[in-house]
Amino acid sequence: MAGEPLGMLSACATGEAIGSGELDGAECLAFWAERAGDETLNAYLWTGPDDGGQRIAGAPVAVKDIFCTEGLPTTAGSRILDGYAPPFDATAVTRLRAAGLPVLGKTNMDEFAMGSSNENSAYGPVLNPWDRTRVPGGSSGGSAAAVAAGAAPWALGTDTGGSIRQPAALCGIVGLKPTYGAVSRFGMIAFASSLDQCGTFGHSVADAAELLSVVEGLDPRDSTSTGIPGGLSRPTASDLEGITVGVPRNFLEVGVEQGVADRFAEALKTVERLGGTIRDIELPHAELGISAYYVIAPAEASTNLSRYDGVRYGLRVPADDLVEMYERTRGEGFGPEVKRRIMLGTYALSSGYYDQYYGTAQKVRTLIVRDFEAAFSEVDLIATPTTPGVAFELGAKTSDPWSMYLNDLFTVPMSLAGIPAISIPAGLAAPPEGGPQLPVGLQLAAPAFAEQALIESAHALEAAIGFDERPEGGGDS
């Protein structure tokens, strides 16, 4: 530690200091509990901490409120689960506790993870710590904002179409989405079951990787769970010698803000400076990813959210008969975006339209998977900007859902393909309308279960880019 403020100490270094006896675990927990309790971004829906009398072996973890936590509020950002406290922990939370990492708090999120700005939370929007008039990204905006603001050392989130990588980029931190199946989905409230994936946030690639190594693994309670073969170790690479990075230029030609494009071009030069090779590639169906995603994900959501009926748990609005109770409970419990996606998904699955919409979207998904397979036969990694632009102002896109959905243009294809991807800070850029500079993210993607190779290259790039800025008050005490 050498006198370094605890708020600036990496999560990995914090664990090492506790293990060596240089830092007291209880004092560490108390420090972060105070920071979480004092945050003013609406990043947390509940703060504890909840140590449960457990041993404290490392830095506490902020947990997105989509993970079930035994006896603690779990709302998924929705009024329909207001007051719900699960009788069990999600597998990811169980593994945190087993590793001696207490739950610091439950973070705010877009309702049922449906959103790209965190403005869809029933409990109010999260504010971006770099500029409180702007969004932090979504749906895991609370987790990203808490880490960026120094109100948590690291955090769990979920990524269905970009919900870890996108807020990581807009908040200037690292966000890591593993291969589908790497982390158990047991106890993770479902949005779209074939896409939902637990992932991690940190100030560094090493922190994000370390936290993922704790929660990944096979779980018999999740039939899609596989874990990461061989596990995951802390990255050490310092160069990109022998690494070929593919760039899908055709996919990046439209809609990217100039500042983002500039930072991306600089990142590619850094790849070459580290000994890597840049190669242009084609992802011919990637531009169809958004259209396919917004058929598949709502269709799966319409099925998953049918369980919220007011009968067994959560909100119940009294009525004269059962059907009316269903209607009133869902009418008052679900927010506008959730209702929109349920209706879209139900329509896509309805008789006469299933093949036309859902079936076609699944065929497009297969083509996208094949595009990535072909690309990875030529390159080791694929690079894109994480988002087309920097953080936008609160309310700027709420009246135009399609404009909002396009924020996930570069992240959705990787989700549809089920491959791992990471966003690391690439610098700062001014928004098109002018004003203070804001974070820009660089996204790297790798073949399925190549997490170790992905984090090694990201670690080397992170060091070379050298982004070490934090928003005002982001951990310096």
Which residues are identified as catalytic? 64, 139, 163
Q: Where are the alpha helices (DSSP H) in 398-450?
A: 401-405, 412-417
- Paired strand residues for 425: 441
C-alpha closest to that of 445 among 245, 279, 292: 245
104: CB partners within 8 A, 6+ apart: 29, 32, 33, 36, 47, 48, 49, 60, 61, 62, 63, 152
| Burial bucket for residue 50 (CB in 10 Å: 0-12, 13-18, 19+) | buried
Residue 162 zone, left/alpha/beta (φ > 0; ψ -120 to 50; rest):
left
CA 129 distance to own-chain centroid? 17
Report the alpha-carbon distance of residue 438 to residue 172 in Å, rounded.
8
From residue 457, how far is each of 200, 241, 333, 448 by CA, in Å? 17, 10, 44, 15
3-state secondary structure 352-363: CCHHHHHHHHHH
Q: How far apart are CA 173 and CA 167, in angstroms?
A: 8
To which residue do tokens 């995603």 refer?
A: 293
End-to-end CA gap in the chain: 14
Per-residue burial over 224-243, b = 16 or more CB atoms within 10 Å of its CB, e = otherwise: ebbbbeeebeebebebbeeb
Q: Across-strand partners of 421?
A: 177, 445
User: Residue 201: in which H helix or E strand, if any?
Assistant: strand 197-202
